[in-house]
Amino acid sequence: MVDTNPRIWAFGGGKGGVGKSLVATNVGVALAKRGHRCALIDADLGGANLHTLVGGVDSKRTLSDFLERRVRRLEEVVAPTRIPRLSLLSGARALFESPNLKHYQKQSLLRQLKSLGFELVLLDLAAGSSFSTLDFFLSADREILVVVPEPTSVENAYHFLKAAFYRKLKTAARRAGVEPAVKQAMQERASRGIKSPRELIASVCDIDPAAGGWLQEEIDGFRPRLIVNQVRSPSEATLGRDMKRACRDYLGIEIEFIGAIASDGTVRRALQERRPSMVLFPTSPFSSSIQKITDKLLEGRRPSAQQDQLSEDFRVLGLEPGCRLADVISAHRRLKKLYSNPSLATFSEIDEKTRSANLARVEEASRRILLEVSGAIPVADLR
């Protein structure tokens, strides 16, 4: 088969039960429906369940057969699903003693994945921050973090991000031969007051500026995408934006918030029927959010034209980008009142045409900002 070098998207996030498998499966269905040939890989070796989420898969071989060398070629593990263009590589059936795979097992899995002829490969990762999970996460072209608006999930996500960051740093340092500076900084952690990845890099820069600069560049390429799942109110949806800011300020890690997904009753009904929500309820709020998230993952970083538009929208409302949701709502209310009817403040200064044009701009700007702040959920759906 041809080596098509598929793009790898990995779904991780530290905590179990947040929706990694559910989101990965449905993004896979969305991609297949759009014509992409893709594979879902159940890399949760301790708690494999993708075969149930996808439904109707008759996989005779699993990844454990490959990893334990009962089959030599990964191709033999690939099973078709009921959804055209979507294949599944089932996870291990037997519980692994340790979720940490040997280096050669991971390498051989990743190497063979590239020769299967898929355009996209979606890795559904286990909960936790084991080295295997971190390595699969870091091997991906898109590192996707799933959280729910609960303190334990957020805490786990930060822990996972830091663990991934340090693992990436270590590998990068080894590859560049700059380990001594990193090691020294780590050893002097307490005396140097290093508490975050950002401070670690700064210390490496002090010790060896060239090594620090090189690592910084390497780490700049680390830009995990964040999904906030099981959202029940608009204020919960702002967690994505808040976490993005906290990651930048406290960890020195840039993440990109790519959307929120509402907690949706149809999800459970689809699970009971063992069919993906994207198949049974393609227009549900859950499926609409999955579509928008899939768009964002495909397009990569937001085009700058869109970013410019958003800065302009904040300017129209007289706000700074990154302000609080409450500020957006009150600016919208105030300006709407100002431009809605000829008011005492505007009647002598603004003609009718300008007034209604201003009102339209305010409405349009508020709509775009609220949509951005709440992620993939149209704000109206949450009211």
Ligand X SMILES: Nc1ncnc2c1ncn2[C@@H]1O[C@H](COP(=O)(O)OP(=O)(O)O)[C@@H](O)[C@H]1O
What does the angle CA 160 – CA 162 – CA 164 come to, to the nearest 5 degrees?
A: 65
| Residue 237 in the binding site for ligand X (CB under 6 A) | no
Residues across the chain: 383
Residue type, 46: G
Cβ closest to ligand X, residue 91 vs residue 212: 91
Which of 18, 32, 41, 88 touches ligand X by CB under 6 A?
A: 18
Q: Which stretch binds ligand X (CB under 6 A): 61-69, 260-268, 328-336, 369-377?
A: 260-268
> Is residue 80 at the binding interface for ligand X, with CB under 6 A as the rule?
no
Where does this chain touch ligand X (CB under 6 A) — which range of 195-203, 258-266, 341-349, 354-362? 258-266
In this chain, which stretch among 136-144, 267-275, 336-344, 348-356 interacts with ligand X, using CB under 6 A? 267-275
In the complex, minimum distance from the CB of residue 44 to ligand X, in angstroms, rounded to a whole number: 7
Give the interface segment with ligand X, choosing from 69-77, 204-212, 257-265, 357-365 (CB under 6 A). 257-265
Chain centre to alpha carbon of residue 7: 15
Q: Which does 22 bind (CB under 5 to 8 A by kind): Mg ion, ligand X, none?
A: ligand X
69 φ/ψ sector (left φ>0, alpha ψ -120 to 50, else beta): left
Phi and psi angles of residue 102, each rounded to the nearest 5 degrees, phi first: -75, 155
Which of Mg ion, ligand X, none has residue 105 at its interface (CB below 5 to 8 Å by kind)?
Answer: none
User: Is residue 237 classed as helix, strand or coil in its secondary structure?
Assistant: helix
Single out the residue of 22, 123, 157, 178 in contact with ligand X (rule: CB under 6 A). Answer: 22
State the minimum distance, in angstroms, from the CB of residue 136 to Mg ion: 13
DSSP 115-127: TS--SEEEEEEPS
Tell me if 246 contacts ligand X by CB under 6 A: no
Q: How many CA atoms lie within 13 A of 380 on its CB side?
A: 3
Note whether 230 binds ligand X by CB under 6 A: yes
Q: Is residue 19 part of the contact set for ligand X (CB under 6 A)?
A: yes
Helix ranges (H only) for 12-102 are 20-33, 50-54, 63-67
Is 229 strand, coil or helix? strand
Is-contact 83 279, C-beta < 8 A?
yes
For ligand X, the binding residues (CB under 6 A) are: 16-22, 127, 229-230, 261, 263-264, 267-268, 271, 286
